Amino acid sequence: MTGPLLAWSDAEGAARAGALFTAAFGAPPDGVWASPGRVNLIGEHVDYNGGLCLPMALPHRTFAAVRRRDDDVVRLVSSLAPDEAWAGTLGGIGPGLVGGWVGYAGGPAWALAQAGHALGGFDAAIDSCVPLGSGLSSSAAVECAVALALDELFVLGLAGSDEGRAALAAACVRAENEVAGAPTGGMDQAASLRATAGHALLLDTVDHSVAQVPFDLTTAGLALLVIDTRAEHALVDGQYAARRAACHAAAARLGVATLREVTDLDAALAALPDPVEQMRVRHVVTEIARVEQFVALVGEGRVREVGPLMDASHESLRVDYEVSCDELDVAVAAARAAGALGARMTGGGFGGSAIALVEAGRADAVAAEVAQAFAERGWRPPGILLASPSPGGARVASP
């Protein structure tokens, strides 16, 4: 399958980021680090509700070429924003001080310093093949690639263990929430840093523990299509924050710390006078249950039976959480009509991507049917990629 969403090899990505760095700063970097985007198999909008989610890392990565400095100066460039190079100091990075892509690229330095780690200045050049605005966590990939570089260059000692990577992920979440101003949960960063090849990552967002869930689609004769609808996708326009606020308000009204603690859904819904809060709670509680069922089926070797859970997840996100859109709904419906075992939107919604579980030999045909459905409506062709469970971030090039 070809198209604009092919992943770069580590060598190609490192070469691209390294060349950008040398052109911008006149000397090569100390190294290149890469961290992947992610696709969430199931468990949407539960990561800020104490829920369970099941993302996996994509082969598509963001590459950060970085060099340590002996002062507190920070210089940042990115091929994704070639006219927006930034230069300042560590003290100039923080909540309310920087915006746009600089918040994602520079924010981890602020968050790590806030966590008590000693850092200095650095130069960084960012390049990426994670599709932007597609709901595949391009922002977290930037944060995590930079965080890995800072961890190694300033000898923080975190990336060598899962516990340390959890701390790096927490710093990246804080950077995204407080510096970039995007109120996202922690699923994206966990997947980007803690995923392993051949596995989905079962993340418990209460205690941030993870379990590696074997996810071997090839043996099952299946493939996972990711369909980038190319519909506008943004999490900083207030819609995501509004849903998060509604969930937190409902939890407070129900007297629980998070909606994960709701064990009697009917009683909870009866106790909520606001119909919008009822809808949001119904989605979260049923979605957490779907994650548990999905993992149980995969663990029993019954991956072919997870399709109805994916379908139900999409319907819940469309009706109760109201985060789908026409393009996502058409992509899901067309994939199902073409024979997908199950399909759903993935990511924050309001645009972005859908996923479809398909017979391996039908991947091209399903992709063509989705593209045809878009063409019939006069929409831009969707981007299509085949996803495979990939490893988390790491250094990919040395000087």
Q: Are strands 86-89 and 122-128 parallel, antiparallel or unpaired?
A: unpaired
What is the per-residue pLDDT for 1? 37
Rounded to whole angstroms, the Cα distance separating 33 from 10 reads 9
Read off the amino acid at residue 47: D
Catalytic residue among 188, 264, 320, 364: 188
pLDDT at position 138 is 92
188 labelled catalytic: yes
Rounded Cα distance between 329 and 18, Å, is 40
User: The tokens of 6 are what?
Assistant: 């092919």
Calpha distance 187→205 (Å, rounded): 8
Q: What pLDDT is recorded for position 187?
A: 92
Residue 359 β-bridge partners: 222
pTM exceeds 0.85 for this model: yes
pLDDT of residue 234: 54
What are the 10-residue block averages of pLDDT along the chain, 399 residues in total? Answer: 68 98 98 97 95 96 98 96 94 94 97 97 97 86 98 98 97 96 87 97 95 94 95 68 94 98 98 97 98 97 97 98 96 98 93 95 95 97 93 93
Q: Give the single-character DSSP code of 236.
A: S
- For tokens 């927006």, name the residue: 84
Domains of the chain and CATH, by start:
10-214+392-397 (3.30.230.10), 217-387 (3.30.70.890)
**H or E, element range at 202:** strand 199-204
